[in-house]
Structure 1
């Protein structure tokens, strides 16, 4: 479950409204049909931080119900440990195959704060957990020492790491270093879509993918090529998608871009982000539409 392509769909939230459950169910079903290896519900692209605990429990249940047997990994990050424990319980009750935990905070967290969080959560889990290292969003940076401490906790099954160095040798050395620190039972997954091909080439086991949630076919093509040892092909596919990576960088991340892409493809309503997030303006949407057409990402 913690290898291959883990696709993270958008959670459509129309402005100040509630989750568009029909659109979300359709997005999940689309990923299952495409043949992704797992589905990451309520990740950062899933806007979990903008939802109530009740809404999150409902989204987790919808994801599992429409995944057609594909394992669903549910994000459980929250400001307070008691909220994390509740979302973990709700995810497990919904039938999630695993959970994904990022250290969410308002006040800066220390390493001991984060270790204590994961220690308490894993002690109350019956499903595997993915450590979500996303410093761009959480503003918390994991050290290798903390990775090592956390990896030996019960239920920890994977670490979702940030982008690796550009140099292939340095990237491989980084992954090999992590392998020496971690138990053999813990996989290493790359995030940051523009770095996916490089990460898989360097030896990562999984790609925790944003574009996989909206464009599963090219994400699968890249992943399967890398898994088969066709790394040049995987790198070529990533290079082909460079205009998309450029848009991610231009707009400060992937969320606004994939939200506009999902609307353009008719997968969600035009308004699909929770306020105060405004998404792309008309000119930016038009440019994205051109990129989608040029890259033949319309199916």
Structure 2
């Protein structure tokens, strides 16, 4: 399957309190994704806590992942940074390490204009020399891509996809139609926001950029394939089993919940980087119940 299509699984980047990557835990997460048959790995995305790591720590994660996966599944690396020169360096690092693609969010402290974002992407896309996906994540960056800006960016060399947030009123069909009308035919349109994934896939989007697939890739892949096949009954059955987990994601944020899930699944006891605090300990029972509900699925 082409890059930026299908299920892209976003693992945590396990690290100690100093930010040093825990290689063994990272490879355990990657093995689950590879063995499940996900279509790509989204390394150092928001779930991977990219903003909390230094360039050297991020390079370590990329090298460990690329060497361990060894071409079995394409790896897309997040290269977002506050400064353009740093993002350029991260893109060059990913290329040199052997990554397959890039994911870029317009991080900022001062609010950015559309022209600033365009120039930022143009520089990173040129330097990275890899297929690049626009990361439209206004909940963290506070920057909202206009459809006109997405169309303009899609004309840049190497910019081949966009990762969209869930649209207002779940109007996936309308948004997909508008974006496809103004972008090149090969340009891939995918969505994040796990609780809306089934509707996005049923509407015909190209990819689900999935948080939960970073730890539970098998049920996430089952949901993806059912929706891609247009099997509404099976899609709804699987998505219903995910509802307790979606509720936790919405309440606490998926980043916090994923750290709790890793512990519940006995994959590793890791804490989110401070100042982010973990899910309250009294909510662990809900995390356990949500995972148990998914374990009961016949997928």
Same fold (TM over 0.5): yes
- Please give the residue correspondences for 1:28-67 in structure 2 after superposition, counting only pairs within 5 Å: 28-67=30-69
Cα distance between partner residues in 1 of 2:203 and 2:293: 29
Name the CA distance, whole Å, in 1 between partners of 2:108 and 2:267: 32
- The question of 1:24 aligning with 2:26 is answered yes
The CA distance in 2 between the partners of 1:143 and 1:196, in whole Å, is 21
> How do 1:134-145 and structure 2 match up within 5 A?
134-145=137-148
2:132 is aligned, of 129, 134, 146, to 129
2:236 maps to what in 1? 235
| TM-score relative to the length of structure 1 | 0.95
Counterpart of 2:119 in structure 1 is: 116
Q: Partners of 2:31 and 2:98 in 1: how far apart?
A: 16
Question: Does structure 1 retain, via aligned residues, the 8 Å contact 2:19–2:57?
Answer: no
**1:292 corresponds to which residue?**
291
Q: 99, 117, 134: which one pairs with 1:96?
A: 99
* Residue 292 of structure 1: how far off its partner (Å): 1.5
- How many residue pairs match? The answer is 295
Give the drift of 1:92.
0.6
Mapping for residues 250-269 of structure 1, pairs under 5 Å: 250-251=251-252, 253-269=253-269
> 2:42 is paired with a residue of what secondary structure?
strand
Structure 2 residue ranges without an equivalent (≥5): none
**Comparing 145-154 with 10-19, which one deviates more in the overlay?**
10-19
- 3-state SS of paired residue (1:130): strand
Q: Kindly state the Cα deviation for residue 120 of structure 1 after the two structures are TM-superposed.
A: 1.1
State the secondary structure of the residue aligned to 1:157.
Answer: strand
* Distance in 2 of aligned mates of 1:165 and 1:141: 13
Distance, in Å, in 2 between the alignment partners of 1:95 and 1:223 is 27
Cα displacement (A) at 1:14: 2.9
Task: Give structure 1 stretches of 5+ with no counterpart.
Answer: none
| 2:114–2:149 contact (8 Å) kept in structure 1 | yes
TM-score, normalisation: structure 2: 0.95
